[in-house]
Chain A
């Protein structure tokens, strides 16, 4: 085969291969990982990137990680001029101020790919490590005020130099964690993923030639852009404002300026940074990219071209653009608030284009302590599933991961009981009212963990704990996300954000996630559907009478 077969079918074949490679990297890393948050929750992503750092193809378990790795590689390219990037190098960064993007728990690994001495692209991945040191187990603290309290900072350094491991970096990583075995396994799983990706990309460049390969990559991004622009043309141009009150009383504001070529988001007028509830500018971009993608072109490939029409305007020193040394542990709650705010603004100005609000929080929950059987330390780090909003023609789905998570799996109760020092007394749908409408919101969950030992801990970060998921078109708002801790003496404590709450034998941690918002006037819901909800116990007779005016 000749080098310059720039025919469309060859492009298709290379582009399909890029997606397959990104998936293969993802699967390899997932399967080899030690931490449940990686292999079950799939808090990881892998990408193949163009030489300039634009994403060519991404394999991810979670959509919130699709657009992360271009920012990481570009961050690294800021620190290292191209002449310092050598074949066999591998970079590591977890520091959002140096190409790390999200928070210190998320480690980015990336390698340049050289065909001979020609840089043909990058492979990169990012994964959530359970513990990177810092003030608290799990490293994420709702009380942190500076990044120094959140763990070890790895500011875009070479972990391999021209193929030789930089042992100093490995050693530093291994001691800066409460869970060294996990960290070691997760690190090597990431390295394995990159090696496989690099090998596969080189198979492509060698088979089709570097020029054809790079042309196919460029063509693929152009396709992404064409698809996004096509969707944008369907929207009426204009300036659209929206603001929303948060659980803590703060007001978040967004201004969308839409034209046929551009989707511009202005976040200038927002609260100043504080605590660990901040996001880097890049993190805010990711949240907006995700909203833009779900709204414009959910079907298409997730490459850098899709996001070219998106413009983001932020102000340094605000929660959406934190500056050093601000803390970012709970960056994800800031991002998901922004994601949800964008969708809500769209729903407000263009009713029905997106479903009603869902529980819209990561509901990050960390529990741990000494395992009562093995004596080894255990940590559960998990996002929760919750209720989704209804849309025209469909009730909302129940018990699903948030818009930030995707091909993510909850931990089976049988595995949780065997692995962690907790009993799981129930895994059920949330029985609380909320989300009624012509189409009703989906149900959140009510999961009960019973603690098996003394001196264990609980940390969490939930939003939508005071301001519920939003209904649309007369549909009712949903219910709230929170944790209720029932002590053995009968005392009851309720939490949304907390760090290191001590829990003891017999205490029950009740995780409640919100029911999603309804769509349309409850008065329009047909009796048969109300009767079916009653029969299935999704609705109580009292609530049916109150909201639907229904009498059996």
Chain B
């Protein structure tokens, strides 16, 4: 059994469940890769996972490492299919969840509807007891009030209890006492307290996070149990790792108690994959872009470092305040622009693309399933960028008549020809994505020209080069397995936890900082010990979150190893001034204060190391499928060579105009671009000669 190592990752998405399978032969070092897709199967999502394993012919008894990501949590939230939650909070604060932060993002709209709280007022109950902002007890918690509260909850059909007390981030003992008492009085109910999820201040954000975690907990627990059982029944004997939103995996046991950390697992693994890819190909500075059917998501990777933050919200946009979830999530910008985004003309004759999506049913007009609206995918077809005879890898016959009609309808309103409309759609979609990419780069003080653009997801490779041109990026990389890249990223992930802890102190107070670090590091090592990872296998990365006195937003700067002293503190403060100036264009002589730390603890648990693909000396000509006219929008029409992506091998290179057709995606290469296939099968496209 030890002659091969087999790793499998599965990623449950909205439409498809993806699988990536890597088998490494220890004797020869040769790697076998398989990717597979099958339909996602709501509500029994685990069935789709078992299906895709069967479809790919994976023998799970031989699998050594199994990683899994899922949209189960985010679906449960957005579809409002969670538990009935009761909230226990500090006396005087039950309305915090309903008041929120009082903001009205759609501010000209006098009929703005505030997001409804996930817990109605009668199920938000208060108990006496108080901890102050320094973490000191002012009044002991009134545990005697709990039996009556829980009796009411039971009578009202509550199935999950959330506990969030004021200042519990500074001292969780009251929450711990309440949680223990709830478990004693009502052992079968799902229960979670805020300190288990976050140790940061802001009572509304913490309450919302706790409530939403409780809301998804019973369903997530059941799902993970069914998945475990399904795998066990098939003979899987190894450990199951679950992808989290912080770009790491965690054990299934630990995820069950705080399932909310899975909320953005799909995008997180994709961006982590982009960072790891950057490491492998020697590109530490990466702009990563993931274009799916409904949205595009992007993130910036600097020096191989993916930024993890805790200001994540669901359902927040220009029209709604949304709901905060204060867990570590990869820093991403998401916009409603994907392959299925619908193009439309408003009553004042302006062309827009998205955020409404045609989804998979009816899908783009060219699916021929009754979709009346032109989408970005349709525009790409009309311009010859996507091959109408190889639509969706040849699995769908493109309904060009429906597409033509949809474009003509828009054209009639705009006074433009269908081709002009198609160009307009692509240009506007690109402009929306360029603005999103600027948000993660230029808005944070980074020059995109110094980055490599890595694009993935089904729609990314079609737009990558055009976006790179707009941003002045010199190189675009399309990873091998771009359409299933999230699953790929999971195989590269470590067991990881991010600890964000709030504590206000002066920047020079290195003894207070030392105490906070030591306590948090001890907690991290304890947590990893529970996962059977010994301390010497745990890597700790320390960051200080600092700001000028009285500011609100903190800048994260690294701190050297060892107990903080005057020298390391001085280095940290110097790094703060530099980081601050880069982002905000100026620096001050004002005092610096620390609002807390961010500690990353990680450990390798079976991460994949890629080896080069074999070269068969196949000729490039064999990969050429033919040629056709392709409309490059602002660069005009050109006769492009069409390549079969599955027949490209390391070492091959050619020049655009070209289109590379892969079963899962289409790569558009503009005139003059230089294309090279690297040792691992990734496609590098060099712009600007």
Interface residues of A (CB under 8 A from B): 1, 8-9, 12-13, 16-17, 20, 24, 27-28, 31-36, 39-40, 62-63, 181-182, 184-185, 188-189, 191-192, 195-196, 223, 226-227, 230, 290, 293-294, 297-299, 302, 343, 354-355, 385, 391, 394, 397-401, 403, 405-410, 412-415, 417-418, 423, 425-429, 445, 448, 535-538
Contact = CB atoms under 8 A, between A and B. Distances in A.
B203 interface: yes
Given A8-B424, A407-B103, 8 more contacts: A24-B443, A188-B586, A191-B586, A403-B110, A407-B105, A417-B167, A536-B122, A537-B122
A62 B34 CA distance: 53
29 contacts: A8-B349, A9-B351, A9-B427, A17-B435, A27-B443, A28-B584, A32-B553, A34-B548, A35-B550, A39-B553, A184-B588, A184-B590, A185-B551, A185-B588, A189-B584, A223-B350, A293-B108, A400-B102, A400-B104, A400-B112, A400-B114, A406-B103, A410-B99, A410-B102, A412-B205, A413-B203, A414-B167, A417-B133, A427-B93
B428 A391 contact: no
B196 interface: no
A171 to B, nearest CB: 15
A32 B432 contact: no
A16 B203 contact: no
A32 B92 contact: no
A293 B107 CA distance: 11
A429 B99 contact: yes
Contact of A192 (B114, B427, B439, B586): B586
B156 to A, nearest CB: 10
A35 to B, nearest CB: 8
Contacts of B424: 8-9
Given A400-B114, A418-B504, A40 B121 contact: no
B108 A537 contact: no
A417 B132 contact: yes
A227 B348 contact: yes
Contacts of B428: 9, 12-13
A535 B109 CA distance: 30
B105 A406 contact: yes
A33 B551 contact: yes
Contacts of A13: 427-428, 431
A128 to B, nearest CB: 15
A377 to B, nearest CB: 11
A298 B662 CA distance: 45
B624 interface: no
B321 to A, nearest CB: 9
Given A39-B552, A414-B166, A398 B107 contact: no
B106 interface: yes
Interface string B68-102: 00000000000000000000000111111011111
Contact of A410 (B101, B169, B504, B584): B101
B471 to A, nearest CB: 11
Contacts, number: 193
Given A195-B585, A294-B109, A391-B111, A428 B551 contact: no
B113 interface: yes
B553 A427 contact: no
Nearest to A223: B348
A415 B584 contact: no
A34 B205 CA distance: 22
Smallest CB-CB A-B distances: 3 pairs:
A406-B107, A426-B92, A385-B102
A40 B102 CA distance: 11
Contacts of B551: 32-34, 39, 185
Nearest to B586: A188
Contact of A412 (B121, B202, B416, B549): B202
Contacts of B390: none
Contact of A536 (B120, B202, B588): B120
B201 A418 contact: yes
B414 interface: yes
A403 B169 CA distance: 34
Contact of A409 (B93, B102, B548, B550): B102
B204 interface: yes
A185 B112 contact: no
Q: Which residue, B92, B113, B552, has most C-beta atoms of chain A within 10 A?
A: B552
B497 interface: no
A210 B21 CA distance: 54
Contacts of B92: 425-428, 448
A47 B330 CA distance: 31
Interface string B426-447: 0110011001001100010000
Interface in B155-204: 166-167, 169, 201-204
Nearest to B115: A397
A200 to B, nearest CB: 8
A409 B350 contact: no
B634 interface: yes
A537 B121 CA distance: 8
A410 B100 CA distance: 8
Nearest to A10: B427
Contacts of A28: 443, 584-585
Interface in B457-510: 504
A426 B126 CA distance: 11
A32 B584 contact: yes
Nearest to A1: B634
B588 A414 contact: no
A12 to B, nearest CB: 6
A48 B660 CA distance: 42
A399 B108 CA distance: 17
Contacts of B423: 9
A387 to B, nearest CB: 11
Contacts of A302: 108
Nearest to B319: A299
A294 B588 CA distance: 40
B121 A397 contact: no
Contact of B133 (A34, A196, A418): A418
Given A32-B551, A397-B113, A400-B102, A427 B107 contact: no
Given A391-B111, A410-B102, A536-B120, A181 B550 contact: yes
B99 A445 contact: yes
Nearest to B555: A31
B435 A538 contact: no
Given A24-B443, A223-B348, A406-B103, A354 B110 contact: yes
A445 B203 CA distance: 16
B170 to A, nearest CB: 8
Nearest to A14: B431
Nearest to B201: A414
Contact of B549 (A33, A181, A428): A181
Nearest to A402: B104
Interface string B205-246: 100000000000000000000000000000000000000000
Contacts of B104: 400-401, 405-408
B121 A538 contact: yes
